[in-house]
Each structure stands twice: as C-alpha cells, then as structure tokens.
Amino acid sequence: MQAVSLQEAIKILQKAGSGFAKNKEFLALLESQGRFLAQEIVSQKALPSFDNAAMDGYAIRSEDMGKTAKIKASIFAGDRKEVELKSGECAKIMTGAKLPKNADIVVPFEVIEGGFNNQESITIPQGLKVGDNIRQAGEEIQLNKKILEIGDEIDENALALLASQGVSYVSAFRELRIGVFSGGNELKEPWELAEDYQIYNSNTTMILGILKSFGFKASYGGISKDNKEELLQVLNMPFDIIFTTGGASKGEADFMQEVLVQTGAEILISGVQIKPGKPIMVARLERKFIIALPGNPLAGAVLLRFLILPFLRNLAGANAHFPQALRVKNIESFKLKKRMDAMLGSLSVDGFLLTQKGKYTSGQILPLCQSNAIALLSEECIQIEAGEWIKVLPYSMIWGKVECDYIN
C-alpha cells in the first residue's frame, strides 16, 4: 500500500470517524466537563426570566421625566415583593432586581442629584431614553429555544449555560478508551538505568501528555517486545484506540502489517507524503483503531497534533473537530524543497518565526519545546517571503464545525 497525500489522509480519517459507533452515558453536570453532548439542550428558563435592572439606580416611569417623583420602595436582587409605580413614583433598585410594574427606565444613582442618599424624593432629568439600563425578559435566551447541540463540547462556558437552565444531569458521549504502547528492545523507561546503547522512552510520555492536554485520558501499557505474540495481545485489549510508536517505518511496518492482516484488520493509511512524519500507519480492527506513529519524536508529535487529534475528536462525538488556521505574517523569509512540509515555529504578536530556521531533524525533541505552532506548506510553496501572509495551526488548537483549508 502506497503512502497517500496529506489531503487524502485527512479525508480517509474523516470518513472513518463519521462511521464510529458512539456510546452514551448520563452524568452529573460537573462530571461531564470535557465531554461532548449526546443530546440537544432546549431552554427551560428564559434569560433573563423577568425584566430587571442592569445597574444600580432609580426605576422610573418615562412620563415623569422633568418632574419630582416620590421614592416608593427599595428593591434588591432576590426580593419577591411586587412593586407597582403610579404616576409621580419611583423606586430605588439594585442590579439584577426585578423591575417594578410600569417602570420603563432605570436612571443610575450618579445621574440624580443626591444620588443614593435621597430618602423621600428625586428630581428626574429630561432626555432619558425608554429602556435604558433595563434587561428585558428573554432578551438573551427565549423560552423553548435550542441553546446547545449534539456534539457541543461541555466546557466551562457550556456548564454555566446548563446551570442557568437548572440542568443538573446531561447525556454525554462516553470517553474514548485509549491505550498507548511502545515498541522496541532498545527502550528503557525514564526511571530505569539506560546503557549507552539504549534510549529513554520519551515518545509515550509525549503522546500521553498531548492527549491529556486536549482532554483525552489514556492508559499506558508499557514497552512491548518486538514479537508477534506480544503485538497480538496488545491488539486484543479492550480499547477504542491503540497507539504504538516505532512500528510504522519500513521493515517495522512490514511486521506490523503482517500481524494486522493476520487479525483481519483493514489498513486505512500506510504512510503520508509529508516531512517530517511519512511513516505512520492507521488501521481498523472491528470497532477499534490502531495508530502506529513514527518512532522519531518530532515526526510523531507533529502528526499527532494536526492529523490524529482531529480524528480523535470526531470519534469522541465533537461536532467541532476541524482545525482552524490563523492567518499571520511570516517574519523571516525561508526556502523549501518541492514537497509537503510541516514546519515548526513560534507564533507571537509579530507573526510566525520558523524554529531554528527550519534546520532540525525528525529525531529531535528540543525544537518541539521551542515552538508553539505548525505551518503546513504544500509542494507549491518553495519560498516564503518576510511579510507574506501564511496559515498556521497553534499548538493550542482552535476547533470549528466547518472544515478549514489550513495547508498553504
């Protein structure tokens, strides 16, 4: 199976993700944070649910402008009493308090001579506008209107909206069960002693860290030896997604594909035409997906961020799973070969600056730490000038419900 273009790889994963069967569960509100809604939410309470004061002041009748009005009452937020203003009457009112009947303007204390300290009456100025400093019932959210959709992320803002409707439990899609495994006889864990010919297992730390930073929980299964029996055991574990590292390059890929074919898996992607990151494999085995990332850490991290994370969000039920690019100015000119490149850089108020002038390799880790964004450049982009506008993807990805062409 030949390596596919990046554009084709994106389409393959979008199609595969759309057909994934998602399970649901009913969760208490705060336990649902970070999940994706499995139900529509319709407003059960208008916001505001009653006409109220937008600031501290005096509630008046517009017909009394230019006249003296008697202070009938003081109304505070949460008061249940009903107040009705007759001609020549006003009321002191605090922010959020229910508006008296017949009042159609709230005048801030500082506009009235004597301000808050008036006890008996006030003189109402001319030139006030009906509706000033009043929040009308339902002006934000009307009753029985859809306010959240299936697939919306339950973030801190959605939590506040749900709470405002008296929602204490929601139906959400179940979390993906993700397992992460390393392969390679040369690997040692960070807490072990490594000989000169051995390397520390940084890839799984990177994968677990990136997944966690985007809200995905994953289990680490350790280092599996390079033999079919151990790989078969891993593939049979009860995960929705299985990550492996180091099994995607030529030679290793033949071994991995042989085992996958033996189990009846469908190879969806066997390499992507991009540098760094060409050796990646994605397969489907019944209802689970196997993702073999490159063993080189920089290549694995780059592909995980802009290719695999959108796929995972789609599988998890998110309706906003398309990365959204930012258009910024390139700070320093650079040249590229005629190929698809993923270039690391730093995004700042001045624009995008290539990391180490692009002179790093796929096996390095330091450039990842020195960067906060990725620019994807097609074969046509062989030279990018200083001041030229380009599209970049920040590490802290912005997600949208509409597909965005983020390739330059």
Of the chain, the percentage scoring pLDDT greater than 90 comes to 75
Domain(s) labelled CATH 3.40.980.10 in the chain stretch across: 6-23+175-316
In this predicted model, what pLDDT tens digit does every residue of 25-73 receive, in sequence order?
999 999 999 999 999 999 999 999 999 999 999 999 999 999 999 999 9
Question: Which CATH fold would you assign to the domain 52-135?
Answer: Molybdopterin biosynthesis moeA protein; domain 3 (2.170.190)
Instruction: Give me the pLDDT at residue 254, please.
Output: 59
Strand 288-293 to strand 334-335: parallel, antiparallel, or no bridges (unpaired)? unpaired
Q: What's the pLDDT at 190? A: 74
Rounded Cα distance, 97 and 57, in Å = 11
Looking at residue 195, its pLDDT comes to: 76
User: Within a 13 Å sphere around the CA of 395, how many CA atoms are in the beta-carbon half?
Assistant: 16
Distance, in Å, from the CA atom of 250 to the CA atom of 199, rounded to the nearest integer, reads 20
Arithmetic mean of pLDDT over the chain: 91
Q: State the DSSP string of 373-387.
A: EEEEE-TT-SEE-TT
Confidence of residue 251 (pLDDT cuts 50, 70, 90): low
CA angle, corner 406, sides to 405 and 408, nearest 5? 100
For the segment 326-338, the average pLDDT, to the nearest whole number, is 94
Given a cut of 90, whether residue 176 has pLDDT beyond it is: yes
What residue type is assigned to position 286 of the chain? E
| pLDDT of 130 higher than 90 | yes
CA separation for the pair 296, 280 (Å, rounded): 11
Chain region(s) in the chain for CATH 2.40.340.10: 322-400
Of 336 and 189, more confident: 336
Q: What is 25-44+149-173's CATH superfamily? A: Molybdopterin biosynthesis moea protein, domain 2 (3.90.105.10)
For the residues 79-92, what does the mean pLDDT come to?
Answer: 95
Q: Is the predicted pLDDT of residue 271 greater than 60, yes or no?
A: yes
Q: How far is CA 83 from CA 79, 109, 297, in A?
A: 10, 19, 69
Tokens 């419900």 sit on residue: 401
Instruction: Report which residue type is found at 301.
Output: A
Crossing angle of helices 6-18 and 309-316, in 10° steps, is 10
Dihedrals phi, psi of 282, to nearest 5 degrees: -130, 130
Q: What is the pLDDT of residue 246?
A: 67
Q: Does domain 322-400 fall into CATH 2.40.340.10? A: yes
pLDDT band per the 50, 70, 90 thresholds, residue 185: low
Average confidence (pLDDT) over 221-245: 84
Q: Report the helix count and the strand count for the chain, using DSSP H and E.
A: 8, 28
Neighbours of 167 (CB within 10 A): 16
Residues 6+ apart with CB under 8 A from 291: 241, 242, 243, 244, 280, 281, 282, 308
CA dist., res. 343 & res. 360, Å (int): 10
Which residue, chain included where needed, has tokens 């009938």?
A: 72
Amino acid code (one letter) for 128: L
Phi, psi torsion values for 171, nearest 5 degrees: -90, 125
| Residue range 6-23+175-316, CATH number | 3.40.980.10
> Residue 227 and residue 231: Cα distance in Å, rounded?
6
- Residues of the chain within CATH 3.90.105.10 domain(s) are 25-44+149-173
Task: Give dist(CA 392, CA 394) in Å, integer.
Answer: 6
Please name the residues in contact with 103: beta carbons below 8 A apart, sequence gap of 6 or more.
59, 60, 61, 85, 90, 91, 134
Name which of 228-242, 341-355, 361-375 the model is least confident about: 228-242
User: Where do you find CATH 2.170.190.11 in the chain?
Assistant: 52-135
Whether the Cβ atoms of residue 213 and residue 251 lie closer than 8 Å to each other? no
Q: In whole angstroms, how far apart are CA 173 and each of 17, 21, 37, 322? A: 14, 10, 6, 18
Tell me the mean pLDDT in the region 258-282.
88
In sequence order, what are the residues at sequence separation of 6 or more whose Cβ sits closer than 8 angstroms to the Cβ of residue 68? 88, 121, 122, 123, 124
Asked if residue 161 has pLDDT above 90, the reply is yes
Ranges assigned E (strand) in 237-340: 241-245, 266-270, 281-285, 288-293, 322-323, 326-329, 334-335
Choose the most confident range, by mean pLDDT, from 91-95, 289-293, 361-365: 91-95
Q: Does pLDDT of 223 surpass 80?
A: no
Question: According to the model, what pLDDT value does residue 311 have?
Answer: 97
Q: Bridge partners of 103?
A: none
